Amino acid sequence: EATGKRGLLEQTELPSPISAPSLHTACCLAPGALRRLIELPSPPLNRHQLKRLEEHRYSSAGRSLLEPLMQRYWEWLVGRVPAWIAPNLITIVGLATNVFTTLVLVYYCPTATEQAPLWAYLLCAVGLFVYQSLDAIDGKQARRTNSSSPLGELFDHGCDSLSTVFVVLGTSIAVQLGTNPDWMFFCCFAGMFMFYCAHWQTYVSGTLRFGIIDVTEVQIFIIIMYLLAAVGGSAFWQSLIPVINIQMKIVPAICTFLGAIFSCTNYFRVIFTGGKGKNGSTIAGTSVLSPVLHIGSVIILAMMIYKKSAIQLFEKHPCVYILAFGFVSAKITNKLVVAHMTKSEMHLHDIAFLGPGLLFLDQYFNSFIDEYLVLWIALILSFVDLVRYCVSVWHGRHYCLSLFLSLSLHVS
C-alpha cells in the first residue's frame, strides 16, 4: 500500500464522443482564456504519450520499518472518511496544512535563528502529522471508492514534491540551523535531492522502491524534533553534548548527512545497475544519467550564488532563498514524474531556471541590482512557473486524456 511518496489515483469523467480532428485541435488549442493564461513554451503531449499515460500502472516495492504499524492507524482513519470525499481533496488539505504551519514558523523566524512561540512548534508537529496521515490514506480512499486513475498519482506526487520543500525548511527553522548556514544549506538541498533521486530511480527502473528507513520514519523523526523545540526551546538546541562538545542542533544535520549517504547508495545502485528500457536505458529509452542535469543545475546554481554573494544573501534570508530554489526543484521533479508516467524524454531547457539565472547574472555583473530584490523576483517567478506548470499538466492532460479515451470508446 502506498504511503508518503506513493501516489493516489483518481477517476476522470469522459466527454461525449468526438472525431479525430477534434481531438488534435482540442489538445493543441484547449479551453480558451485559461489555456492562454497557463500556456507553456513546451508542446502538449502527443497521442502516443497520452496513450502511455492511460496505460501507466503504479508499481512499488519494499516496506519501511514503521509502515506495518502505521497501516493499522491508516486503515482505521480511512474508514472514518465519508465516501463522497474525493481523494484529491484529501491530498490538497494535507498539503495546505503542512504549508500553512511551516509559513507560521517562517513568519516568526525569517533567518532561522530566532525563537518562535512554543505553540508554533506544536502547530508544525500537528500539521506534519496531519499531512502524513492524509497523504497515506488518499490512495486508500481512491481504491475504496473505485476512483483510481494515473492522473491521481500525478497529482499526489506533485503535492509531495512541494511539501518536501516546506518540510526541510520547517525542520531547519525548528532547530535554528540558520546559525550554521552551511549545514542548513546542505540539509535543505539534500532533502530535495533525495526526493528527486527517488523518482529518478523510478524513471530508470519503472518501480518506486522504499527502504527500511524511508519517508514515514523521517516524518516521525521530524515531528519529534518539533516537539523537542516546543519543550526545550532554543536552549535545548544550543546546548553542548558532553565529550564530543558539539551543539545539539548539529545532531539532526549529521543524521541528514548519514541518511543521504544511505538513501543515495540505494538509489544509485538501482540507477547504475541498468534501466528497464532497451540496452539498460530508462523506461523512456534515454540515458540513465540524463536526469542529473536538471537537479545538478539547481544545486550548482544555488551553491555558486550562495558562496559568491557580496551581501551574504543566504545567511541573511535563508527562508526566501530555500523557497525560491525549492519551487524550481519541485517543478523539475514534477517534470520527471510526468516523463516517467508517459515514458518520455526529459528536456533540459526550462523556464524554471529563469529566476536562478537572473540571480547568477546579477552577481556576474557585480550586483548592479540589489541581490535581495532579485531574490524576491526569482521567488515570484519560480512560484508562478510552478503553478502554471501544475495547472497546465492537470487541466491539459486531464482534458486531452479524457478526449483520447472518449475517442477510443467511440471507435471501438
Q: Where are the domains of the chain?
A: 20-33+41-411
Predicted local distance difference test score (pLDDT) of residue 406? 55
Kindly list the catalytic residues. 157
Q: 5: closest CA among 170, 217, 181?
A: 217
User: Whole-angstrom distance between the N-terminal and C-terminal Cα of the chain?
Assistant: 34
Cα(289)–Cα(37) distance, integer angstroms? 34
Largest interatomic CA distance in the chain: 75
pLDDT in tens, the chain (412 residues): 444 444 443 333 333 333 333 334 434 444 454 444 444 444 445 667 677 777 778 888 878 899 989 999 999 999 999 999 999 999 999 999 999 999 999 999 999 999 999 999 999 999 999 999 999 999 899 888 887 777 788 888 989 999 999 999 999 999 999 999 999 999 999 999 999 999 999 999 988 888 888 899 999 999 999 999 999 888 889 899 888 889 999 999 999 999 999 999 999 999 998 888 888 899 888 999 999 999 999 999 999 999 999 999 999 999 999 999 999 999 999 999 989 988 888 888 889 999 999 999 999 999 889 999 999 999 999 999 999 988 877 765 555 555 555 555 444 4
Q: What is the CA radius of gyration of the chain?
A: 22
Q: Does residue 139 contact residue 2 with C-beta atoms inside 8 Å?
A: yes
Type of residue found at 347: H
Q: 213: closest CA among 263, 255, 285, 157?
A: 263
* Sequence-ordered list of residues with C-beta below 8 angstroms from that of 54, at least 6 positions apart, any chain: 150, 401, 404, 405
Predicted local distance difference test score (pLDDT) of residue 383? 96
Cα(389)–Cα(395) distance, integer angstroms? 10
Q: Does residue 351 contact residue 41 with C-beta atoms inside 8 Å?
A: yes
Name all contacts of 356-365 with Cβ < 8 Å and 24+ positions apart: 356/298, 356/301, 356/302, 356/305, 356/324, 356/325, 356/328, 356/382, 357/301, 359/301, 359/305, 360/301, 360/304, 360/305, 363/305, 363/308, 363/309, 363/310
Cα(104)–Cα(191) distance, integer angstroms? 21
Cα(319)–Cα(105) distance, integer angstroms? 10
Predicted local distance difference test score (pLDDT) of residue 16? 37
Q: Does residue 385 contact residue 352 with C-beta atoms inside 8 Å?
A: yes
CA separation (Å) from 186 to 160, 176, 255, 256, 323? 20, 14, 12, 9, 14
Predicted local distance difference test score (pLDDT) of residue 55? 76
User: Judging by beta carbons within 10 Å of its beta carbon (0-12, 13-18, 19+), is residue 183 exposed, middle or buried?
Assistant: buried
Taking the CA atoms of 293, 295, 300 and 301 in sequence, report the sign of the dihedral they define. Answer: positive
